[in-house]
Amino acid sequence: MIPYSLLDLSPIAEGSNAAQAMHNTLDLARHAERLGFRRFWLAEHHNMPGIASAATAVLIGYVAQGTSTIRVGSGGIMLPNHSPLVVAEQFGTLASLYPDRIDLGLGRAPGSDQATARALRRHLDHDTADSFPQDVEELQAYFEDVRPGQRVRAVPGAGLKVPLWLLGSSLFSAQLSAAMGLPFAFASHFAPGFMRQAVDLYRRTFRPSEQLDRPHVMLGLNVFAADTDDEACRLFSSLQQQFLSLVRGTPGQLKPPVDDISRLWDASEADHIRRSLACSVVGDPAAVRDGLQRFVDDLRPDELMLTGQIYDHHARLHSFKIAAEAMQAVQRTAVI
């Protein structure tokens, strides 16, 4: 059985606003819970006009309060932006309110440009990313039982053992996850370049820990599903436009789909975006089922994290319904 989870960036569609985006996020989480998704994760991004999940822990609480069984977490919290103690207190609070339902995925990148990073953490220096392993260890320690003589503790947080994940798109994160015995989520949905090398390195060098006795790999995958291939390709064009805006340095709200994306980019932009979004399954129910099966057969992930930046909320709900049904078919095929 291959668990399937959902990553939502709480997209702000062009002409809409952050409040509506967050209401849509909760509606999607409830939909995912009914469809059998294991986790619903939200990502930390700052100074991005098209993403409403900047206050990630706050939004996780909103989603957890509005659902009942699905695990809710971060995919991820960008640890260089925060002190480990503050993250421990935030997620200790969440884990106290919603026991056994909170995941803490951690990223090493700031999730923003340098000016925004400095605004987030005013004393940011060039060595902050290099301190990531130490910050992870410090954060992990705050979730352990309090030690005699411990002067600083997370309240709430101490003793809760909130499960940590490391996220990444490089060999560094794979190696660190393996060394610490943590589950590893690779950002193949937008940066697949080192995916195979990272997964192999993680699995080969994994050392069991108190949290995890064997390697656990989650791979990100864009899924755009509709009743027809043409409509699915049209929906996909919103994400392609979003990446095009990033390439051009003009990030904005999520744009409505277009019939012919080729009219909007030049050849070099198209090549770059196709490489970035190579891990995408786009099509009707049969095509999505086949695409998911090929991806699973090829890479043997322990879990899939599906995502899809779709302009129309109802089309997004329908896309994830098709994806969930396809994943259930993939699981049955895998068992046979």
pLDDT digit string, tens, across residues 31-86: 999 999 999 999 999 999 999 999 999 999 999 999 999 999 999 999 999 999 99
Six-digit token pair at 52?
A: 């409403």
d(C-alpha 275, C-alpha 270), whole Å: 9
Residue 162: pLDDT above 70? yes
Widest CA span in the chain? 65
pTM of the model: 0.95
Res 115: pLDDT:
80
255 inside domain:
no
User: What is the C-alpha separation between 309 and 253, in angstroms, rounded?
Assistant: 11
Where residue 296 falls among pLDDT bands split at 50, 70, 90?
Answer: very high
Residue 130 Cα distances to 125, 197, 331, angstroms = 10, 22, 40
The answer on pLDDT for 98 being more than 50 is yes
241 in a structural domain: no
pLDDT at 130: 76
Give the CATH number of the domain where residue 290 resides. Answer: 3.20.20.30
| pLDDT value for 128 | 53
Q: What percent of the chain has pLDDT over 70?
A: 95
In the chain, the number of structural domains is 1
d(CA 273, CA 32): 28
What does the alpha-carbon distance between residue 330 and residue 327 come to, in Å, rounded to a whole number? Answer: 5
Tokens in use for 179?
A: 């060394």
- Residue 254 in any domain: the answer is no
Q: What is the domain extent for residue 15?
A: 4-227+280-329
Whole-number Å distance between alpha carbons of 127 and 101: 33
Range from 102-111, 270-279, 311-320 carrying the lowest mean pLDDT? 102-111
pLDDT beyond 90 at 109? no
- Residues contacting residue 210 through CB under 8 Å, at least 6 positions apart: 181
> Does some domain include residue 296?
yes
The pLDDT of residue 218: 98
Check residue 84 and give its pLDDT: 97
**H-only helix segments in 113-249:** 114-120, 132-142, 171-180, 195-205, 229-247
Confidence (pLDDT) at 116 = 81
Whether the pLDDT of residue 335 is over 50: the answer is no
- Report helix, strand or coil for 174: helix
The average pLDDT across 246-260 equals 96
In angstroms, rounded to a whole number, what is the distance separating the alpha carbons of residues 154 and 133? 19
129 pLDDT higher than 70: no
Q: Is residue 273 part of a domain?
A: no
Q: How confident is the model at residue 336 (pLDDT cuts 50, 70, 90)?
A: very low
Per the CB < 8 A criterion, the answer to whether 77 and 87 are in contact is yes
Instruction: Look over the chain and give the mean of its residue pLDDT values, rounded to a whole number.
Output: 94
The model's pLDDT over 182-206, given as tens digits with 9 standing for 90+, comes to 999 999 999 999 999 999 999 999 9
CB-based burial label for 328 (10 Å; 0-12, 13-18, 19+): middle
Asked if residue 118 has pLDDT above 90, the reply is no
